[in-house]
Amino acid sequence: MSTPPQMMDVLYMQTFLQVLGIFTRNAELIESSASAFLANGFRLCMPVYSTMSISSTSSAGAITTLTVQVQQGDFPTSTPAAPTAVLLQNASGTTIGATSLTSATPTTASTGSLAYTTATIAGAVAAGDIVIVLNPIIIDFVIPASLIGLLQTNFSLFALTQPSGCYVTPSTGTPTGVLEFSSTLPNPVIVSVGPLTITPPMSANGNLQILYQDQGSGAITQPPPLQISTPGSPITITPTSLSGGKSYRAIVFVPDCPIAVSGVFPG
């Protein structure tokens, strides 16, 4: 007697065609609906490091102040937790040194100044270098069960993988560079800000879709999808359906590439 194929449940975003997770059910009954093990929603928790480009530096004794532009993640809080570790790199990625912040002063959602106390690496840091805040910010995004479907499949037929991760980029300001979703992808998705612009890979086809979550109420806004008419060409996202001045997180769904976006919409 042959052994019946083992089945698994796969959660996916309805209409987004994005796999969120794989749940094998060994010696268990296959679930009949996503809500059977989701309840109110699917919570994405993503630890994100903040990466900033240095536009200028100044020193007074052992205290060095960096004027920075966020490229990925959020600007640190005005009273960073002690110790808030940072890594300093030059433009080629070579480490200059590591230290801890003594203060962080935001100017906007994506610019401001960082200060640290050390005399040993103060003179080695210059404009164009990179500072990475090593204390990750935890990004929470709850996707309601109504937007999630359930697929049951024999996993021996084909392989389904979870997303490799979500990068987070600010929504305001103009960084000195752009963010690639993954440098290992042959056709990376490029995100730039000021305004928020997504450049889908040349291989993309179909729709670009986005979810906004009000960080106050948790309510989800789902605007109509944007057609990817010309792969490789930038698509500017103007969130006209959102209330001004509120803080939102967003997840942009380019085919096969979920991207988390953090900030205040609209700018």
- What is the arithmetic mean of pLDDT over 243-257? 72
Confidence of residue 262 (pLDDT cuts 50, 70, 90): low
d(CA 240, CA 25): 43
pLDDT value of position 181: 46
- What is the arithmetic mean of pLDDT over 50-68? 90
Tens digits of per-residue pLDDT, 145-200?
888 888 777 765 555 554 445 556 665 555 444 444 444 444 566 666 666 777 77
Q: Which of 143, 161, 139 is nearest to 35 (CA)?
A: 143
Confidence of residue 96 (pLDDT cuts 50, 70, 90): very high
φ, ψ at 35 (rounded to 5°) = -65, -15
- What is the arithmetic mean of pLDDT over 245-249? 72
Please classify residue 230 by burial: count the beta carbons closer than 10 Å to its beta carbon, then call 0-12 exposed, 13-18 middle and 19+ buried.
exposed
Residue 87, CB half-sphere, CA atoms under 13 Å: how many? 12
Domains parsed from the chain with CATH numbers? 47-138 (2.40.30.10), 164-264 (2.60.40)
